[in-house]
Amino acid sequence: MDKGICPVTLLPIRSEPSHQSEMTSVLLFGELFEVTETRENWLYIKCEWDDFRGWVEESGILLVTPAFFREACDMNVIAREHHLAFEYSKPEHPYRILPGSSLPFYRPDNQSFSIGQKTLKLDSQPVMPINGLTAEDATKAALMFMHTPYVWGGRSLFGIDAGGFIQVILKICRIRVSRNLKDQVNAGTSVHFLDEAKPGNLLFFGEENEGISHAGILMGPGQVIHPYGKVRIDRIDHHGIYNENRLTYTHHLRTIISIPALSLQGVKE
């Protein structure tokens, strides 16, 4: 089974091997995958981070050796903010590195990392947590996405949907979850009442007797950040999200989830 890595800022993953088919997700720079099927110039892949499957165009990927793949799975840093990266031989053509991208074999001494046979250097040092990741890290990461447009299948600053938003924020915090809302809702511990919820808790929404259809992150008492048209902050109460522009509830609160891997240290309410 061939192994590969995404060597571009982002690469669409599609439901069928065609540019006209639905974009169901994207690969971010440095993310790894396995190839399970080939059809002309399209590859059916399984993403290493979350096992998501779909079709990518062959010209947008880079195949790597099994040894590179295996070691890169364990030796990478997650970009927690936007960077530029430069190839030593072509510094005039930088790579754009978005939050949530993976940096295989990152070396903090010279800010370099490897993509296949290429060595790239970051424009600045990634901010590393000192005492472990906190819920405050998650809320700060979420704020970086403010005003990002809603795009079905997106999980980047160029466009994002609800499942992609939750997944990439948690990836920045080095927590693996599916990009599907129905799986994310089982990723932590239930919080029974909104009054008991803490900043950084995940909020899931949907109509009664229907599945989960939307999600956001609690920013503080009465505030949720979520992608609705764009990533925005709205009022939240036990009924759901209240949109002050439309003067109505747009999403009904169904479930609150606490992620145990996120310490609540440092969060101010």
CATH classification of the domain holding 59: 2.30.30.40
Answer whether residue 267 is part of any domain: no
- pLDDT by residue (tens digit) across 176-210? 999 999 999 999 999 999 999 999 999 999 988 88
Q: Domain limits at 203? A: 135-258
- Are residue 156 and residue 215 in the same domain, yes or no? yes
CATH code at position 241: 3.90.1720.10
- pLDDT score at 263: 52
pLDDT for 265 beyond 50: no
Whole-angstrom distance between the N-terminal and C-terminal Cα of the chain?
49
User: Scanning the structure block, which residue is given the tokens 């990723």?
Assistant: 187
22 in the same domain as 92: yes
Q: Rounded to 5 degrees, what are φ and ψ at 181?
A: -60, -40
Mean pLDDT within 44-65: 97
* Structure confidence at residue 46 as a pLDDT band (50, 70, 90): very high
What would the pLDDT profile of 91-148 be if each residue is shown by its tens digit?
A: 888 999 999 999 999 998 899 999 988 899 998 876 555 445 778 889 999 999 999 9
191: in domain: yes
Domain boundary, last residue among 70, 93, 122: 122
Given this model, what pLDDT does residue 90 score? 83
Is residue 141 in some structural domain?
Answer: yes
Q: Is residue 34 part of a domain?
A: yes
Q: Over 60: is that where the pLDDT of 264 sits?
A: no
Which residues fall within 8 angstroms of residue 135, CB to CB, at 6 or more apart? 198, 199, 200, 201, 262, 263, 264, 266, 267
The answer to whether residues 251 and 214 belong to one domain is yes
> Is 60 exceeded by the pLDDT of residue 266?
no
Q: How confident is the model at residue 267 (pLDDT cuts 50, 70, 90)?
A: very low
- Helix H or strand E encompassing 47: strand 42-47
Question: What are the tens digits of pLDDT across the range 5-20?
Answer: 999 999 999 999 999 9
Residue 210 is predicted with a pLDDT of: 84
3-state SS assignment for residue 164? helix
Laid out side by side, the sheet with 62-64 consists of 23-28, 10-14, 53-57, 42-47, 32-39, 3-5, 62-64
Helix axes 162-172, 135-143, angle to 10 degrees: 130
Count how many domains the chain has: 2
pLDDT in tens, 212-244: 999 999 999 999 999 999 999 999 999 999 999
Phi and psi at residue 183, to the nearest 5°:
-90, -35
